[in-house]
Amino acid sequence: MDRLVAVIPAKAKSERLPGKNERLFAGKPLIQHTIEQALKSKEVDKVYVSTDSEEIADISRNLGAEVPFMRPPELSNSDVHSVVPVLHLLEKINAVKNFDYVMALLPTCPLRKVHQINEIAKLAKMSACNVLSVVDTGKTKYHLKMIDKLGHLTSLVGEPPINFQHGGDSRRVFSLNGSCYCGPLINIFRNKSFHCEKSKGYIMDEITGMDIDTLEQFEIAEALFKMRNQNK
């Protein structure tokens, strides 16, 4: 039987929204929503939290998640990718001995549904590939632009053909949202990343796939969350 471990990376410091992960979101600390989702998933066998915050550690343990140790401060710097503390925890607990798959769940995506966690896990197990959650940008590749130092727009992929119609192009562009990444443990250790050449995409809608980074996004997500629960 394929055993899956979920790891939630949650540092104390947040550049744009201080104390974000423990900030109350619809009456609960933000991270609590992700922990509860992971614990409810039938596909997840164990839930761990990687954190450098005693407050987050206490919240996590009280909810039933494992926090075997505090994350080293150097792994919580703003330039450290979220996969690094995930790998650090997996190595420390010798995950390869007890688990076959790993799932990383960011605590900043509280509107995800448990069934989405289950579907991503099943897809990873069925395909033996990494699966990354994405959202549809509603754009084509020709919409993607950069602004140079002089303020000029430059295209990332060249200009569209002269007969190109934006409404008729079926090649949609998707954006990684960080909500849920999953894959075989051996793949993650080998590549030191959830990204690989043959990763599969799991499409989330713009509400369940919303990632919180700023106070404005926090307030919008909270309003949507409360509205969704009122309509149940």
Domain of 38, in residue numbers:
4-137+177-230
- Which letter does DSSP use for residue 182 in this model? E
Q: What's the pLDDT score for residue 179?
A: 94
73, two tokens: 């401060």
Report d(CA 123, CA 126) in Å as an integer.
Answer: 5
- Give the H/E segment covering residue 8: strand 4-9
First-to-last CA distance in the chain? 35
DSSP character at residue 12: S
Q: Assess if residue 25 is contained within a domain.
A: yes
Q: Give the angle 46-232-201 at the CA atoms, nearest 5°.
A: 50
The predicted pLDDT at position 172 comes to 76
**Residue 213, amino acid:** D
Q: What angle do CA 39, 220, 43 make, to 5 degrees?
A: 15
Residue 209 near residue 109 (C-beta atoms within 8 A):
yes
Tell whether 169 is covered by a domain. no
Residue 146: per-residue pLDDT: 78
Please state whether the predicted TM-score (pTM) of the whole model is above 0.75: yes
- State the Cα–Cα distance between residues 155 and 123, nearest whole angstrom: 34
Half-sphere exposure of 145 (CA within 13 A, CB side): 9
- Which residues, including other chains, have CB under 8 Å from residue 227's CB and lie 6 or more apart? none
pLDDT for 185 equals 93
Least Cα distance to 169 among 199, 201, 137 occurs for: 137
Q: Give residue 73's pLDDT.
A: 87
The answer to whether residue 100 is domain-embedded is yes
In a domain, 149, yes or no: no
Q: Could you tell me how many residues make up the chain?
A: 232
Packed helices 114-127 and 30-40: angle between N→C axes, nearest 10 degrees: 50
> How does pLDDT run across 59-86, given as a tens digit for each residue?
999 999 999 999 998 988 877 888 999 9
Residue 108 is which amino acid? T
Q: Strand, coil or helix: what is 101? A: strand
pLDDT at residue 77, as a whole number: 84
So what's the pLDDT on residue 12? 86
* Ranges under pLDDT 50 in the chain: none
Note whether residue 151 is domain-resident: no
Q: Is 183 inside any structural domain?
A: yes
Q: What is the CATH number of the domain that holds 102?
A: 3.90.550.10
- 26 part of a folded domain: yes
Q: Residue 150: its pLDDT value, please?
A: 79
